[in-house]
Amino acid sequence: MCRAASDVRRPPILGSMMGKSHALSGAVGWLGGCAGLVAAGHPVGPVAVVAGAVVSSGFALLPDIDHPGSTVSRTLGPVTRLISRSVSDAAGAFGKATCDHCDRRPGQGGHRLITHTVPFALAVFAIAALAGRVWGVTTSVVIVGFAVWLATHTALRPNTRAEIIDALIPGQVRGKRARKYAAALGSLVAAAVVALAVREVAEPGASWWWVGLAAGWGTLAHSLGDSLTHWGSPLFWPARIRGCTWRTVGTPRWMRFRAGGAVERWLVAPAMGLFGLGAAYLLLAPFARTYLG
């Protein structure tokens, strides 16, 4: 496969979009989808709008668990690095075993393989939807909490996360090491607070299968995002494209932008943010008006 000379300058993260852009794309896609449903005459409750956006943004970080340097792989230090390394090894071995045609870059390992496919997103959807349907609100708030926990690692700086703990036990977080642990703990606290809040406002007995939709969508949004940047994703595995089941696909090459570059930072991310804010306003303003009288 022909690679542009500019690809050599790729950062070590292997040309992944920034974690922030991935998380944003998940949430914005969810809000856009909800707005579309409302426009088509299907009401969407505020819990599904907000919790779904949160789940989508968190799960949009998940596929990069196959790369030890990604945001999601660094969330719990050595623990998540170990998980990431195992996933990467397994994905790499699976990739090798299922296609002898692959033209992968040296050092790619298991990155951008099985976790960056449509079937993987469908599996995440199926598992989460089933869990939400069978075990209802309890499982669902766990999924919401997990997503928030992931999202805080890209949405909040470590210092901000440590401040959460500092606010709870003032003056106790001293030294660099303590701040590191406090940052990890801060994410957990934020996740628990949001999860409990969702539980609090959730209608009793409501169906939660849509949590699976949000989780699956977020996972897919990640791989779609990667398809917009230079490397593309093997979205259509196990379909064989030009002899290879792991062939990366994406927008036409001239349309792809450099991961983490100016286009992403100053055009794609702000545009997504504006669209998301607009959709959130349209979706939530009516509820806010009723609530505030």
| Residues found near Zn ion in the complex (CB under 5 A) | 16, 64, 99, 101-102, 226, 244, 246
Residue closer to Zn ion, measured from CB, 102 or 178: 102
Output 92 or 132, the one with its CB closest to Zn ion. 92
Give CA–CA dist 214/55, Å, rounded. 6
Choose among 274, 177, 203: nearest CA to 46. 203
Considering beta carbons, is residue 69 or 273 the nearer one to Zn ion? 69
CB 143 to Zn ion: min, Å: 21
Q: Return the structure tokens found at 109.
A: 């390992």
Nearer to Zn ion, 103 or 274 (CB): 103
**Residue 16 beta carbon to Zn ion: minimum distance, rounded to whole angstroms:** 5
The least distance separating Zn ion from the CB of residue 77, rounded to whole angstroms, comes to 21
Nearest to 26 by CA among 270, 223, 276, 217: 217
DSSP-derived 3-state class of residue 237: coil
Q: Least Å distance between CB 50 and Zn ion?
A: 25
Strand pairing partners for 229?
Answer: 257
Long-range contact list for 271-280, CB < 8 A, 24+ apart?
272/21, 272/24, 272/25, 272/28, 273/24, 273/28, 275/28, 275/31, 275/32, 276/24, 276/27, 276/28, 276/31, 276/32, 276/53, 279/28, 279/31, 279/32, 279/34, 279/35, 280/31, 280/49, 280/53
Minimum distance, C-beta of residue 242 to Zn ion, in the bound complex (Å)? 9
Question: Which is nearer to Zn ion, 64 or 166 (by Cβ)?
Answer: 64
CB of residue 13 to Zn ion, shortest distance in Å? 9
